[in-house]
Amino acid sequence: MVPIKTVSQSKINIDSGLRDELVRWLDTSASKKLGYHSQAQFATEAVRKLLQEVTAPAKAGIHFILPNKEDNRLSLDLDIGDDKVLCNICNSESCIHVKTLYDDKYVKQQLKTHKIKLPVRK
Ligand SMILES: [Zn+2]
């Protein structure tokens, strides 16, 4: 006899109203079209997706470097995050480099060309 490899399963309680809604939906052609056929299959996939989402590493910011050959003091070396910009030269969020990043016409063009969006200025 060939041993059957089984994956152990556990029960988790969910709100009965939510379960009823799932049961109703699983009975529709829309759920079958998407390939769902059981509560366990649906719940397993839902939990797996949410777990991946909440345990994913935080998005790294963009390291933006723009040398200025005419005035080295105005070369830019910044980390652009979702909610803030940090200057790696001054270790500041409000220095001349951050101001240049937001205000300089040439820098703005570079950001646009590389599809880099700046966080809303504080
Ligand atoms: Zn700076």
Q: How far is the CA of 44 from the centre of ligand 1 (A)?
A: 48
Q: How confident is the model at residue 4 (pLDDT cuts 50, 70, 90)?
A: low
Reading the block at residue 18, the tokens are: 């939510």
CA-CA distance, 36 to 20, in Å (whole number)?
15
Q: How far is the CA of 90 from the centre of ligand 1 (A)?
A: 4
Q: How confident is the model at residue 8 (pLDDT cuts 50, 70, 90)?
A: confident
Tens of pLDDT, residues 48-91: 998 887 887 666 789 999 998 888 888 999 999 988 999 999 99
Q: How far is the CA of 115 from the centre of ligand 1 (A)?
A: 22
Confidence (pLDDT) at 68: 87
Choose between 73 and 38: higher pLDDT: 38
CB distance 98 to 118 below 8 Å: no
Three-state secondary structure call for residue 114: coil
Q: How far is the CA of 59 from the centre of ligand 1 (A)?
A: 23
The mean per-residue pLDDT over the stretch 13-39 comes to 95
Cα torsion for 9, 15, 16, 21, to the nearest 10°?
-90
pLDDT at 120 over 80: yes
**What residues pack around ion ligand 1 (CB closer than 5 A)?**
87, 89-90, 95, 97
Q: How confident is the model at residue 108 (pLDDT cuts 50, 70, 90)?
A: very high
Q: How far is the CA of 103 from the centre of ligand 1 (A)?
A: 14
Q: How confident is the model at residue 42 (pLDDT cuts 50, 70, 90)?
A: very high
Choose between 10 and 53: higher pLDDT: 10
Q: How far is the CA of 97 from the centre of ligand 1 (A)?
A: 4
Mean pLDDT of the chain: 89
